[in-house]
Amino acid sequence: MEIIIMSTPADVGRVAAAKIASVVAKNPSAVIGLATGSSPLVIYTELKRRVDAGEISFAQARGFALDEYVGIPLEHPESYANVIARDVVVPLGFDPARVRVPNGRADDLESAAKEYDAAIHSAGGIDVQILGIGTNGHIGFNEPTSSFASRTRIKTLAPRTREDNARYFDSLELVPMHCMTQGLGTILDAQQVVLVAHGTAKAKAVAAAIEGPVSSFVPGSALQLHEHAMVVVDEDAAAELQLADYYRYTYANKPTWQFDL
Ligand code: PGA
């Protein structure tokens, strides 16, 4: 796992965006795993700057969102179909027909989840997966005790997650209780993963995921099993890392050729 500590959230976005951009530069029709939430916005902001500058294009790229709520209508401003359209597809110029979000409104949710996982596989798998991390250590909506072998499926949102996400809704009661999320096994199948976090609220989860034991109790710790996982955090989110100085030292001494891998 590569751990990079940057001074500010904007710097986090620049470093993580450079990884996504390098994947798309090598393969314009790359499959990108897209995350919602506040953390990845710094990545999308930097990618938009690159798109506007004519440095990269997502016109041929394909996208699969990590998760979706179950039980809110498609047109709800906080449905992840809408959030992905607003934060990613439109600003970055993806072809909407090439971006999928799990269907949390399907009559048969279980079949829809299986079909979504199969569609990722049929697309050749995810080349690079963008991730945030929840204050409880979740990635996607894989709440604590999610199986490391799990595939896309229905989960019950943890009370902590509903509280954290209540800021997007008029009240806690309006936050959906269930979701459809890529599983930890699905996420681990991605060729590369890039997790970003900023702010002190994430410091404990970041430290547990990176330096704690590999445990389904901290779903983010599954990334310790991934061959190509990059974690980019700001100083606040890095506050609980025991080996912070080592991570700074390795990044300061990173060989130039490794930046383009
Ligand atoms: P956030 O959510 O980026 O809005 O903090 C991250 C997550 O819950 O995975």
pLDDT tens across 13-42, in order?
A: 999 999 999 999 999 999 999 999 999 999
pLDDT tens digit sequence for 34-63: 999 999 999 999 999 999 999 999 999 999
* Residue spans per domain, the chain: 2-253
Ligand 1 binding pocket includes 9 (Cβ within 6 Å): no
Q: Is the pLDDT of residue 253 over 90?
A: yes
CATH number of 2-253: 3.40.50.1360
Closest atom of ligand 1 to CA, residue 165: 4
What is the 8-class DSSP label of residue 68? E
pLDDT in the model for residue 179: 98
pLDDT in the model for residue 42: 98
pLDDT in the model for residue 205: 98
pLDDT in the model for residue 257: 83
Phi and psi torsions of 131, nearest 5°: -140, 145
Residues in the chain: 261
Closest atom of ligand 1 to CA, residue 141: 9
Q: How far is the CA of 257 from the centre of ligand 1 (A)?
A: 32
Tokens of 197: 């976090």
What is the 8-class DSSP label of residue 127? S
Nearest CA to ligand 1 atom 8: 134
Closest atom of ligand 1 to CA, residue 37: 4
Sign of CA dihedral 96, 79, 177, 217: positive
Bridge partners, 65 (sequence order): 34
pLDDT tens digit sequence for 196-221: 999 999 999 999 999 999 999 999 99
Q: Is the pLDDT of residue 97 over 80?
A: yes
State the distance between the two ends of the chain, measured CA to CA, in whole angstroms: 14
Q: How far is the CA of 39 from the centre of ligand 1 (A)?
A: 6
Give me the percent of the chain exceeding a pLDDT of 70: 99
Sign of CA dihedral 251, 49, 20, 55: negative
pLDDT in the model for residue 172: 97
What is the 8-class DSSP label of residue 142? B
Ligand 1 binding pocket includes 38 (Cβ within 6 Å): yes
- Site to probe by mutation for ligand 1, drawn from 39, 88, 196 as the one with most ligand atoms within 8 Å of Cβ, is 39
Number of H helices, E strands in the chain: 9, 10
Q: How far is the CA of 151 from the centre of ligand 1 (A)?
A: 20
Confidence of residue 259 (pLDDT cuts 50, 70, 90): confident
Ligand 1 binding pocket includes 133 (Cβ within 6 Å): yes
Confidence of residue 234 (pLDDT cuts 50, 70, 90): very high
Please report, as a single letter, which amino acid is at residue 208: A
* Spatial CB neighbours of 74, under 8 Å, sequence gap ≥ 6: 81, 82, 105
Q: How far is the CA of 176 from the centre of ligand 1 (A)?
A: 15
For the full predicted model, state whether its pTM sits above 0.85.
yes
Ligand 1 binding pocket includes 39 (Cβ within 6 Å): yes
pLDDT in the model for residue 256: 86
Closest atom of ligand 1 to CA, residue 40: 3
Give the CA radius of gyration of the chain: 17
Q: How far is the CA of 78 from the centre of ligand 1 (A)?
A: 14
